[in-house]
Chain A
Amino acid sequence: DTEVTQTPKHLVMGMTNKKSLKCEQHMGHRAMYWYKQKAKKPPELMFVYSYEKLSINESVPSRFSPECPNSSLLNLHLHALQPEDSALYLCASSHPPVSDTQYFGPGTRLTVL
């Protein structure tokens, strides 16, 4: 099973709201990733967690706050977002050191009003 799940599928929020995106995998993977994807563009890496520790932050604005409570779960907390943050947010996981292959979830479509 190579399934990564993400909730919710769709999210609409105002610029003053606080919301969270959730990602889960039960493959025993110890690396998890957040990507942002705008329409007609490839995904852009935001954060990488390796063994529950933040290892890469691609200079993402502080209004995005990642959290990795355990090896199966990854959250992305959102606060005071801008309309330009509207995008598809993808989660992925991989299994270091065995493999560098990343498996992606279905994404959360975020709209910021």
Chain B
Amino acid sequence: AQSVTQLDSHVSVSEGTPVLLRCNYSSSYSPSLFWYVQHPNKGLQLLLKYTSAATLVKGINGFEAEFKKSETSFHLTKPSAHMSDAAEYFCVVRRDGSGNTGKLIFGQGTTLQVKP
């Protein structure tokens, strides 16, 4: 079955240090991949989306992700963490063959803690 695996349930970094949130996916086709962020008691905000135009995708707030087909990975990075980055992050893939109103498959989420 198609899946998304976020390899770390919890990541802790110090403010000003790099962030790496890891995601592996399974897909039979060229996938639609997303990263969303959710701050406490808020909705999900789109950080970035992979559209096959480029393997390195730049998102909002300094985040970027690299699509590696050979490794079926879509890891999220940021050069320097800010306290406001503390949140839950979801890696998401659109279910194969489900079309533009299709189902999203969510990873279990990674909680990012940023220490002062």
Contacts and interface: CB of A to CB of B under 8 A. Distances in A.
Interface in B41-75: 41-46, 49
Contact of B108 (A42, A97, A103, A105): A42
B103 interface: yes
A97 B100 contact: yes
A99 B94 CA distance: 12
B42 A94 contact: no
Given A107-B42, A107-B43, A96 B100 contact: yes
A101 B46 contact: yes
Interface residues of A, number: 30
A43 B101 contact: no
A70 B112 CA distance: 39
Given A90-B44, A106-B43, A107-B42, A45 B104 contact: yes
Given A101-B34, A103-B46, A42 B100 contact: no
Given A56-B103, A96-B100, A43 B44 contact: yes
- Chain B contact residues (Cβ within 8 angstroms of A): what range? 20 to 34
Contacts, number: 59
A41 B49 CA distance: 21
B45 A42 contact: no
Contacts of A31: 100-101
Nearest to B32: A100
Contact of B100 (A2, A43, A94, A109): A94
A19 to B, nearest CB: 20
A40 B110 CA distance: 10
Interface in B73-116: 90, 94, 99-104, 106-109
A16 B74 CA distance: 46
Interface in A16-75: 31, 40-43, 45, 48, 50, 55-56
Given A48-B101, A99-B100, A104 B108 contact: no
Interface of A: 2, 4, 6, 31, 40-43, 45, 48, 50, 55-56, 88, 90, 92, 94, 96-107, 109
The 8 closest A-B pairs by CB, nearest first: A42-B106, A96-B100, A104-B44, A104-B43, A31-B101, A106-B43, A100-B100, A50-B101
